[in-house]
Amino acid sequence: MIYCPKCGTANRDGSRFCNECGEELVIQTHIECPRCGALNPIQNVLCIQCSGRLLPFVPPSPETGAPPPIKGLSLPTKNPAGEQDEELDAAAPEPEDETPAWLRELGASLSAGGESEEPDSPEDAGEVPDWLRDLRASLPQELEEQAESAEEDEALPDWLTALEPVAGKAMDEAQTAEGEPGDEPLGSESQEDEIPGWLSRLVPSAAAARGLEPEPATSGKETPGWLTRLVPGEAEVGTEPTSTAAEMEEGEGSERPDEPAPEAPAEIEGDKIPDWLADPSAADGEVEAETELPDLEIDEREIPGRLATLQPTDEEAEVEAEPSHLEIDEGEIPDWLATLQPVDEETEAGAEPLDLEIEGGEIPDWLADIRATGGAADAEAELQDLEVEEGELPDWVAALRPVDAGAESEPAPAAIEPGAEQFPDRIAEFEPPSVDLPPAETLQEADMEPPGQKRAYKLPDEVEAALGPSVPAWLAELQVQAPEAAAAIFEEAAVDGELPEWLVRSESGPDEALASAEIPGWLLALKPPELREGTELPAPEVREWSEETGLLAGIPGTLPVEMLIAQPRAIITAESTDLAMEDSPPARLFSEIVGRSPDATLKKIASPKADVLPQTARWIIYAILIIAVSLPIIMGKPFVSRTIEPTAATVEMHRVIESLDSLDPVLVAFDYDPTGSGEMDPIASALIGHLMDRGAKLVVVSLLPAGPATAQSLLAELAAGRPDYAQGYGERYANLGYLPGQAAAVRLLGLSLETALPRDFYGTPLSELPVMQGLDSTRAFSLIVELAASQDTLRWWIEQAGTPFAIPLGTGASASVIPVARPYYETEARQLVGLVGGVPDAVTYEALVNDQGSATSSSAARLDSQLAGQLLFVLVILAGNVAYFSRRGTRRER
Amino acid sequence: MEPSLLDLAGTLIAAILTLFVFSYLLGDNALYRFAEHLFVGAAVGYAMVVAFHAIIGSKLLMPLAEALSEENWARVLLLGFSLLMGLLLLTKPIKGISWLGSLSVAFLVGVGAALTVGGAVLGTLLPQIDATTNVSTYATRYGPALGAVSGVIVLIGTTGVLIHFHFGAREAGPVGRLRAGLVRTWGGLGRWFILIAFAAILAATFMSRLSLLAGRIQFLVDSARGYLGG
């Protein structure tokens, strides 16, 4: 249906003009689907039939600029250059799928610190936003000191540095050995405040260790934590590469667990240089390792903090720690991994083993190996067993905890049994797949390669498949490398683009790298606009805060009631919608899918014939109906001669008229116009003809403007065949014309006929009409015959004339009025003395008048025409229902 | 009597316009629109002529002139008041003085509502209630058995329809549950009576429109026979 925009009338589909008001409907009333051709309402965006897009997508204009890049969940992200590279490398077969999303995000967050260069000062604007500094200024003095010390750890946020419990310390010590000025120690209390709770539990011993050793020296910057774990054995970060290289010659022995670890050089104190760092340099004593060593000296910025957390206790080898003992079945540890752990363990001969009740296969072996290596070198405190229920904590995380606990020199804290709610869902739900390790020989063959050779070590396919997304391929490769091989692979992977970009060394400057990487988009949205830099948003003037109300009103410098970030103005000015869209990869993917042009994505198929068939069927039905209705009329006689039984109401109507005496006045209300004459004329002819036959005086009125003309033509036709009426206008019958006023006029007619209708249809005063003599109101009439085409006029006559004045009222009504007229006939007092409804009743009434028991040929043909149409209608209804139910059954079967 | 040329022309035009209207069965087209516009225009013009001659002329201006000539001031006052009320209606489109037209509208609505409500109560509501409750009437008209059945059906159906249109909050307690059950069962039965009544009205309307179609076809056939001499 098409609804007229002017009057709201529902028009048939395909209409060009409104049926009610004639308003042109040429406005685009439908949108043709480019895919299936179906017509859709103009307000639709998607096709109602095929769900194809109807409107072409308008891509965003270039002025709007590129959408903001997807940023990680954690604070720092990549620099813009890195993001561009990421976009360029998107087409390349970069194995993004190999790295879990959360791992990439976490890595991206940490890589910002790793990729950035060391800033000139701790207060560099690129790493600590001003607004955050302002917030910190409001903190107590202790916290401020802690924040300052945290700023000195330039690359990583403080809470991330806390994840490097021991590795960071080792690197600090290394820097101390290099003679760099030490910074203020990072207080353990402040660290506890800054570390998320769930993370602090992962490193319970780290904070305690810092508490015991309040001088962590300088922050570790040059020793990559994740590389330290690749070093098989104790290492010593020397200031001279030669010494390291000399020690690396002995690194071969470190791959044999049974051999004792070489001692660290005497000139380097044990608490400054991790022994395990000295070991690979001694073990791998190759000359070329010296040249590769600078490559291995990767800044801390390149160290993922999450990896740094995995090397907890190596640098504390000098402490008389009892090495942990890991109960791992044989065969779970690859040989190449087994070679990485013995030095620490044997260095600390008196260390007590760490008992871990961990089922085989729950921990990736390479992680278990790392843990064992580090944990063995840790503090001598008693280590306790971990009984972590399965599912509460990822096993690999649980496996890390006792290692950290072993770093404590004091009694270990109570057993931690964190619930799942204490960890982020992604960690709590993460369960690394069980690893079915291949035979040890398989890996040993890989280890048989020369140590310095650059080749890609690959785990067997079944191992990689078992590791799944938990261990990226690049990480798995690094695990099997000797340090120099790992460095080579690192460089090669960086060149080939296989390495995640956050591991690639940044070429940009520190400010550029940190400027956009410090604050993710969602956090930037919360930043007060007045504190934003000029490149982001026009920063309004920053006015000094002053209290406006209360006792401190007018005093500047007071603390605001709410923090700046909590004030709604910042939220209002933020482009939260765009950020929300672009921060979510699914949302961006959805945007891309929706934004595709329909021509590019949808095939143009042939327009279905769905609209043609119903139209054809409709035409067929029309044709059959016209033929069925026309045929009896054309033939002029009924198909079957039959006797028609009149209804009781019709008989009553006939009886009432038959009981009239000659010259009894009868008021005939001609309440139909030419639009209803096709149905009402037979009824009116039957009733008025009968009245004329009875010699009644007929006075005709009409409540419709066009009614009197219709009545006059019929009266003239009927009077022509009756001599008493042929020349008797005004004598035997009169047409008083249009009676305006509807119900009120009918009521008035019962009071004063001349007041209501002073003149007849031709303008003749009623007093001049002989037929009107003695008729001053409707109460003077013996009968009122209402020829009703609508129920309204019938009700007016019943309510305003027949019932109030107790005037006998009969009706010849349209078939559509019968349901309304019938109850008035059923009343005890007979509000309707008779009822002739529709053409069938008219035909039967005619038969009653003729006393022949059957209608005339023309009336019978008309009745046959009516019955044929009704029969066809019944058949169409049945066929439609059968088709509907059969189709519905077919759909159910589908 | 031989039909005049005007009658023949009129019949021919009417037949052609009828075909134009029937062409709408094939879709919206200019012929149908032409016939439609012609019909609307002729109807409006005819209504205006009738309104002037049957109302303004014969019931207002001419009686007013007669009253003035007869110096029947009471009638002049009555007709003058009617004329004034009619003129005030013309002020409705004028923004500043449209409130004047509200007087006439208020008078018309008030009189019309009073007549309608009074007529509905006395002419429809009370008689129909009496007919519904007086079951003996049916027995008198249709015999004891059929009349009793008819009376019971009418009573149950009428009450059910009234219950179906019950709107109220659900109440707790036995009375509330009883009422809810009554509404659900008896009201549901009344809903079926409503559906049957609507179906009967739809069928009757179809019969009416089918009669109109047959009447138009008969007109065309008779016209053709008249021209062809059949």
Give the E-state strand segments of A344-479 in sequence order.
none
| Residue among B54, B111, B137 whose CB faces A740 most closely | B54
Distance from CA of B72 to the nearest CA of A (A): 15
- Say how far apart CA A751 and CA A757 lie, in whole Å: 11
A342 close to A233: Cβ distance less than 8 angstroms: yes
Q: To the nearest 10°, report the CA torsion of A531, A537, A538, A544.
A: -10
The reported pLDDT for the residue numbered A234 is 42
Mean pLDDT calculated for residue range A32-37: 80
Query: Residue A763: CB partners within 8 Å, gap ≥ 6?
Result: B53, B58
Q: Give the helix/strand (H/E) hosting A669.
A: strand A665-671
The reported pLDDT for the residue numbered A824 is 93
Beta bridge partners of A735: A700
The band of A442, judged by pLDDT with boundaries at 50, 70 and 90, is very low
3-class DSSP assignment, residue B229:
coil
Strands A30-32 and A10-11: unpaired
Using a pLDDT cut of 90, give the percent of chain A over it: 14
| Residue among B120, B137, B207 whose CB faces A838 most closely | B207
- Say how far apart CA A51 and CA A47 lie, in whole Å: 4
| Residue among A744, A827, A838 whose CB faces B112 most closely | A744
The reported pLDDT for the residue numbered A875 is 92
- Say how far apart CA A292 and CA A482 lie, in whole Å: 12
Q: What is the mean pLDDT of chain B?
A: 88
Name the one residue in this structure whose structure tokens are 């006559």. A797
A332 close to A439: Cβ distance less than 8 angstroms: no
The band of B27, judged by pLDDT with boundaries at 50, 70 and 90, is confident
Mean pLDDT calculated for residue range A453-469: 51
3-class DSSP assignment, residue A670:
strand
A838 and B43: CB-CB below 8 Å? no
Pairwise pLDDT comparison (B53 vs A189), residue with the higher score? B53
Distance from CA of A640 to the nearest CA of B (A): 18
Set of chain A residues whose Cβ sits within 8 Å of the Cβ of B47: 705-706
Structure tokens at A531: 């504190």
Provide the chain A residues 627-686 that lie in CB contact (below 8 A) with chain B: 629-630, 633-634, 676-679, 681-682
Residues B81-130 pLDDT 10s:
999 999 999 998 888 888 999 999 999 999 999 999 999 999 999 998 88
The reported pLDDT for the residue numbered A10 is 83
Structure tokens at B87: 């003129």
pTM for this structure?
0.50
The reported pLDDT for the residue numbered A554 is 73
Provide the chain A residues 10-29 that lie in CB contact (below 8 A) with chain B: 12, 14-17, 22
Q: What is the mean pLDDT of chain A?
A: 64
Name the one residue in this structure whose structure tokens are 């570390």. A195
| Residue among B28, B47, B214 whose CB faces A629 most closely | B214
B218 and A633: CB-CB below 8 Å? yes
The reported pLDDT for the residue numbered A703 is 93
The reported pLDDT for the residue numbered A542 is 54
Distance from CA of B101 to the nearest CA of A (A): 18
User: In b/e form, how buried is each residue of A200-223, taking b as 16+ CB within 10 angstroms?
Assistant: bbbbbbbbbbbeebeebbbbbbbb
Residues A812-826 pLDDT 10s:
999 999 999 999 998
- Say how far apart CA B212 and CA A676 lie, in whole Å: 7
Mean pLDDT calculated for residue range A631-660: 86
Say whether pLDDT at A6 is over 50. yes
Question: B62-70 and B73-89 helices cross at what angle (nearest 10)?
Answer: 150
Say whether pLDDT at A885 is over 70. yes
Q: To the nearest 10°, report the CA torsion of B39, B44, B45, B48.
A: 160
Say whether pLDDT at A240 is over 80. no
A803 and B134: CB-CB below 8 Å? no
Using a pLDDT cut of 70, give the percent of chain A over it: 39
Taking CA–CA distances from B26, the nearest residue in chain A reads A619
B208 and A633: CB-CB below 8 Å? no
Mean pLDDT calculated for residue range A685-700: 92
| Residue among A622, A682, A759 whose CB faces B58 most closely | A759
Pairwise pLDDT comparison (A265 vs A887), residue with the higher score? A887
The band of A807, judged by pLDDT with boundaries at 50, 70 and 90, is very high
Mean pLDDT calculated for residue range A616-643: 84
B123 and A831: CB-CB below 8 Å? yes
Q: Give the helix/strand (H/E) hosting A748.
A: helix A742-751
How many residues appear in chain B?
Answer: 230
Residue A266 sits at φ, ψ, to 5 deg, of: -70, -30
Q: How many CB atoms lie within 10 A of CB A357?
A: 9
For B37, half-sphere exposure in the C-beta direction (CA atoms, 13 angstrom radius) is 10
Mean pLDDT calculated for residue range A82-98: 44
The reported pLDDT for the residue numbered A311 is 45
| Residue among B119, B131, B213 whose CB faces A869 most closely | B213
Question: A395-405 and A365-376 helices cross at what angle (nearest 10)?
Answer: 10
Say whether pLDDT at B196 is over 90. yes
B54 and A738: CB-CB below 8 Å? yes
Pairwise pLDDT comparison (B133 vs A75), residue with the higher score? B133
Count the helices and strands in chain A (H runs, E runs): 42, 10
B131 and A747: CB-CB below 8 Å? no
Lowest mean pLDDT across A351-355, A514-518, A566-570, B195-199: A351-355
The band of A93, judged by pLDDT with boundaries at 50, 70 and 90, is very low
Among candidates A278, A269, A204, A202, which has minimal Cα distance to A247? A278
Residues A289-301 pLDDT 10s:
444 444 444 444 4
- Say how far apart CA A752 and CA A746 lie, in whole Å: 10
| Residue among A738, A829, A838 whose CB faces B50 most closely | A738
- Say how far apart CA A536 and CA A539 lie, in whole Å: 8
The reported pLDDT for the residue numbered A137 is 53
Set of chain A residues whose Cβ sits within 8 Å of the Cβ of B130: 827-828
Name the one residue in this structure whose structure tokens are 């946020």. A157
A760 close to A736: Cβ distance less than 8 angstroms: yes
**What's at A629, amino acid-wise?**
V
How many residues appear in chain A?
Answer: 894
Distance from CA of A550 to the nearest CA of B (A): 51
Say whether pLDDT at A641 is over 60. yes
DSSP state of A833: S
3-class DSSP assignment, residue A279:
helix
Q: Which of A17, A24, A615, A679 to mutate to test the interface with B (most CBs of B within 10 A)?
A: A679
Say whether pLDDT at A350 is over 50. no
The reported pLDDT for the residue numbered B77 is 94
- Say how far apart CA A786 and CA A703 lie, in whole Å: 11
Taking CA–CA distances from B51, the nearest residue in chain A reads A705
**What's at B40, amino acid-wise?**
V
